[in-house]
Chains A and B, each alone.
Chain A
């Protein structure tokens, strides 16, 4: 039986005065969905969230989240126990609406970056102009050399979705940024 190795689980970087808290997000179900124009509405119905059509926008319903990453590409996020239901529901849709649904749950980890210094910490390695990123937006971008998906959950709350194999690298940079913020340098 395969065993998942998740060395960063439960880790946390905290800066005194709580200007910055960085921690691993709880694991969740993630799918990458590729689907064409007319299939978007039925796919949203199956998932349980109306899929946003503008790149960079997100839509949520309950604890499910859909991110529009490209003209025909979405990332779907849901609680762990929803995985089989979602997979089965999309399989049933396949005959009428061709699409590609790939389970990428195990490929990525979530890192939550929160606090008034959250944007400063991210700017240490992310070239995006975060002032231009509205709350509720999500985009694929780059963090140092690692590709990430960045979600702005609130004004001072971000979530990074990154491949397991890059997570340690991203974590190390955030640790260094947190240290600099602590020392105010």
Chain B
């Protein structure tokens, strides 16, 4: 079973306690009314879908209930690190350090 570290519980917990919640660091436009249909469509539906490092949201739903962010490799399914929502995207160096 995959173990995921919850940054709030500060513990590795079984994957079945969590749910995936899409790509992280997507901020809602401040004034959606001024957007074109194209821009609004891109905000709602278009995601980066990378091969490799992916920044994504998870929720410890059967635990502390909190949303947080994670860095996961979409090829190996390995988590590099997790961090609290609201924190900036970790740098390449930080991710490399977490992986080693």
Measuring CB to CB, which residues of chain A are less than 8 angstroms from any residue of chain B? 55-56, 69-71, 73, 127-129, 132, 139-142, 147
Of the listed residues B13, B62, B66, the one surrounded by the most CB atoms of chain A closer than 10 A to its CB is B62
Does A141 lie within 8 Å of B63, measured CB to CB?
A: yes
Does B16 lie within 8 Å of A142, measured CB to CB?
A: yes
A132 cross-chain contacts in B, Cβ below 8 A: 11
Given A70-B65, A127-B16, output 17 extra A-B contacts at Cβ < 8 Å: A55-B8, A56-B11, A69-B64, A70-B63, A70-B64, A70-B66, A71-B66, A127-B14, A127-B17, A128-B13, A129-B14, A132-B11, A140-B64, A141-B13, A141-B17, A142-B17, A142-B62
B14 cross-chain contacts in A, Cβ below 8 A: 127-129, 141
Q: Judge whether B1 is part of the interface by a CB distance below 8 angstroms.
A: yes
B13 cross-chain contacts in A, Cβ below 8 A: 128, 141
Q: Judge whether B9 is part of the interface by a CB distance below 8 angstroms.
A: yes
Does B65 lie within 8 Å of A127, measured CB to CB?
A: no
The interface residues of chain B, by DSSP majority, are classed as: loop
Does B65 lie within 8 Å of A73, measured CB to CB?
A: yes
Q: Which residue of chain B has its CB nearest to the CB of A70?
A: B64
Q: Which residue of chain B has its CB nearest to the CB of A71?
A: B8
Q: List which B25-56 residues lie within 8 A (CB) of chain A.
A: none
A71 cross-chain contacts in B, Cβ below 8 A: 8, 64, 66
Chain A's nearest CB lies how many Å from the CB of B20? 16
Chain B's nearest CB lies how many Å from the CB of A20? 23
A141 cross-chain contacts in B, Cβ below 8 A: 13-14, 17, 62-63
A139 cross-chain contacts in B, Cβ below 8 A: 9, 63
